[in-house]
Amino acid sequence: MQGTYILAVETSCDETAASVVRDGREVLSNVVSSQIETHQRFGGVVPEVASRKHVESVTMIIEQAIEEAGIKPSELSAIAVTQGPGLVGSLLVGIVAAKAMASALDLPFIGVHHIAGHIYANGLDRELQYPLVALVVSGGHTELVYMERADSFEIIGQTRDDAVGEAYDKVARALNLPYPGGPHVDKLAHESEHEVKLPRAWLESDSYDFSFSGLKSAVLNVLNQAKMKGETVDPSALAKGFQASVCDVLVTKAQRAVEQYGAKQLLLAGGVAANRGLRTELTKMCSEVNVELVLPQMQYCTDNAAMIGAAAFVKWNQGRFSPLNMKAEPLMSLKSWIEQ
């Protein structure tokens, strides 16, 4: 068989996922078992419950990924797994499963940075062109990453408090929307014609950092003050105002980064990349400044293992593998990963 076949496993949070990717580009299978229904009743991901669920489904999901790819385990080239960042208990299950498989089949083993995975997911269906800037937005991350080459990362900005996805979930909870709240806020914002004006946190004029806790408090303030006055707030107008503030800050900072770094492409990555409002605003901005916008396909926005297979291929090309005593890194940085 021609090519490099990487089996990738991802269990950093509440999805058990496995995928077979050929040459870092061609997704032969992409199986994701979501635990959303399990965690819904708790109003958020419970780490111990998530870890237990991973043990329950990990080999089944791997088997399904291999079967759907139409290959035999003996035809695999390497086993890859998310090393971090993420919930330590969840990471451990995927890591020890992947190690056991690499050992049993005598295959090279590759630990992958979760966010690198989100970024390289954009390269699954097209050629990435460097230098580029990636805007990573998820429940745990809000980062602007500059990549001069395929194997270099520089974090030029990040959130100082809440991640975007976290802010969305908190606002959704305040508006009594079901968990996970992000998509509901996005939907409400689209339905409204009115907008409750909310502040923007720009921070220092040259900073690429973000802050969303003030905005979240502003939303709660509007709700509380209305309650005290016995008034009701139109939740969709509030959602629209919140989304407008978030998008304005993200898009403006991304634009400045793209211009300053002379990026050929702007990549959007992470769970919040599915947000329609953000996609629309970024599309508008990129056509204005004449930079190619790369949006991930919807199935690669949320956590998946195909993206881990794509990122692992970078390490495969460098011939850099991980030892079987690799540690889970719940707080891993992109820089430490690419250098390891």
Partner 1 sequence: MIWLAMDTSTTTLTVAVLRDGELLAEHSDRAERNHSIRLVPAIEEILREAGVTKQQLNGIAVGHGPGSYTGVRIAATVAKTFAWSLGIPLVGVSSLAALALTAALEDGVDAADLYIPVMDARRGQAYTGLYGRTELPDGQPSMIALEQDANRLAEPWFAAMQTVKTWKVVGETDAFTSALQTTNAESKYVELRAYAIGLLGLERFAKGEQEEVHHFVPNYTQLAEAEVNWLAKQQG
Only one of the segments 229-237, 251-259, 295-303, 320-328 lies at the binding site for Zn ion (rule: CB under 5 A); that segment is 295-303
Q: Is 49 in the site for partner 1 (CB under 8 A)?
A: yes
Nearest to 296 by CA among 285, 282, 284: 282
Judged by CB, which is closer to partner 1: 94, or 277?
94
The nearest distance, CB 329 to partner 1, in angstroms, is: 12
**What is the number of the residue whose Cβ is closest to Zn ion?**
303
The option from Zn ion, partner 1, none interacting with 63 (CB < 5 to 8 A, set by class) reads partner 1
Q: Is 290 left (phi over 0), alpha (psi -120 to 50) or beta?
A: left
3-state DSSP call for residue 268?
A: strand
Q: How far apart (Å, rounded) are the C-alpha atoms in residues 63 and 226? A: 54
Q: Is 166 in the site for Zn ion (CB under 5 A)?
A: no
> Can you list the positions of beta strands (E) in 69-151?
78-84, 109-113, 132-137, 142-147
Q: Is 92 in the site for partner 1 (CB under 8 A)?
A: yes
The nearest distance, CB 18 to partner 1, in angstroms, is: 11
Q: For residue 268, what are the β-bridge partners? A: 135
Only one of the segments 14-22, 145-153, 252-260, 297-305 lies at the binding site for Zn ion (rule: CB under 5 A); that segment is 297-305
Nearest to 162 by CA among 85, 246, 269, 275: 246
Helices (H), ranges, 261-332: 276-289, 306-318
- Contact of 33 with 17, CB cutoff 8 Å: yes
Judged by CB, which is closer to partner 1: 51, or 245?
51
Q: Is 104 in the site for partner 1 (CB under 8 A)?
A: yes
The nearest distance, CB 204 to Zn ion, in angstroms, is: 28
By the criterion CB under 8 A, which residues form the site for partner 1?
A: 41-42, 46, 48-49, 51-52, 55-56, 58-60, 62-63, 73, 89, 92-93, 95-97, 99-101, 103-106, 323-328
